[in-house]
A and B are shown apart, each in its own frame.
Chain A
Amino acid sequence: GAVVSQHPSRVICKSGTSVKIECRSLDFQATTMFWYRQFPKKSLMLMATSNEGSKATYEQGVEKDKFLINHASLTLSTLTVTSAHPEDSSFYICSAIPRQGAHNEQFFGPGTRLTVL
C-alpha cells in the first residue's frame, strides 16, 4: 500500500514552453503533498508544500509564479513549470502523507526527469 505515482517519468521540452507534472496517491488519500527538486549528486531540496483545497506554501527562494502547484483533490497534485528554461532542467520528486496513517511518514514518487532544451 501507500503508492505514489508521477507522470510523466521524463519529459523533454523546448525553452519557453510550460510543462505539467502529475503526482498521484494511488491507494490512499493525501491531504498534504510535497514537491522536491534534486540536482545531480545533491540532496533533495523542498520546493513547496501542497495542501488539498488551499494554496501551496513555497520555500524561500522558490518562485511561485514559476512553479505553479495545484492540489485539487485528495489524490492529485500537479506542478507546472511555466516558461521553462534550461536551468529548470532537473529531477522533480513528489511525496505524499496519508490522511490516515503513521504520523509524518512521507511516501515518495519515482520522480520526473525534466530536460529543457
Chain B
Amino acid sequence: AQRVTQPEKLLSVFKGAPVELKCNYSYSGSPELFWYVQYSRQRLQLLLRHISRESIKGFTADLNKGETSFHLKKPFAQEEDSAMYYCALNPTYNTDKLIFGTGTRLQVFP
C-alpha cells in the first residue's frame, strides 16, 4: 500500500538549533516526493521536491531509497520556520495526485 508516515506530530526547538522532520514512505515503484508547508493562517504551499535537489529557505531533503525516507533538514532553525510541514508522495507520474502524511508541527522558540 502507498503510505506516507510522519512519526512526529510536534517538534519544538530553539532558534539556531538544527531541525530534522522525519518522513518515511511505503511505495513499490520509483517515488516522487515533496515537502509542503502551511504557515499560520495561510494555505498549503510547496516547499521543495526531491527531483529538484534544491535548498529552499535553508531546508534540504534527500531521498534515501534504501531507508525509504525523505527527511527534511535545516541546520539552524528560525522563528519564521514555525509551521505545519507535510510530506507527500506522488505514486504515479500519470496522475499527479498526492498522498500526504499526517504532518508535523514545527515550533521554533526564540
Contact = CB atoms under 8 A, between A and B. Distances in A.
B11 interface: no
Contact of B86 (A34, A43, A105): A43
Nearest to A111: B43
B interface, how many residues as a size bin?
A: 20 to 34
Describe B's contact surface by its main secondary structure. Answer: loop
Residue from A34, A36, A97, A104 with most neighbouring chain B CB atoms (10 Å): A104
B100 interface: yes
Contacts of B96: 32, 97, 103-104, 106
B102 A42 contact: yes
Given A43-B86, A111-B43, A106 B101 contact: no
A67 interface: no
B103 A43 contact: yes
Nearest to B41: A110
Interface in A19-70: 32, 34, 36, 41-46, 49, 57
Interface residues of A, number: 24
Contact of B43 (A43, A57, A109): A109
A93 interface: yes
Nearest to A97: B96
A9 B43 CA distance: 12
Contacts of A93: 43-44
A46 B44 contact: no
B43 A108 contact: yes
A34 B97 contact: yes
Given A44-B86, A46-B98, A108 B103 contact: no
A36 B49 CA distance: 20
Given A43-B86, A43-B102, A43-B103, A105 B97 contact: no
B86 A106 contact: no
Interface of A: 4, 32, 34, 36, 41-46, 49, 57, 93, 95, 97, 103-111
Interface of B: 9, 32, 34, 43-46, 49, 86, 90, 93, 95-103
7 contacts: A43-B86, A44-B86, A46-B99, A103-B96, A104-B96, A105-B46, A108-B43
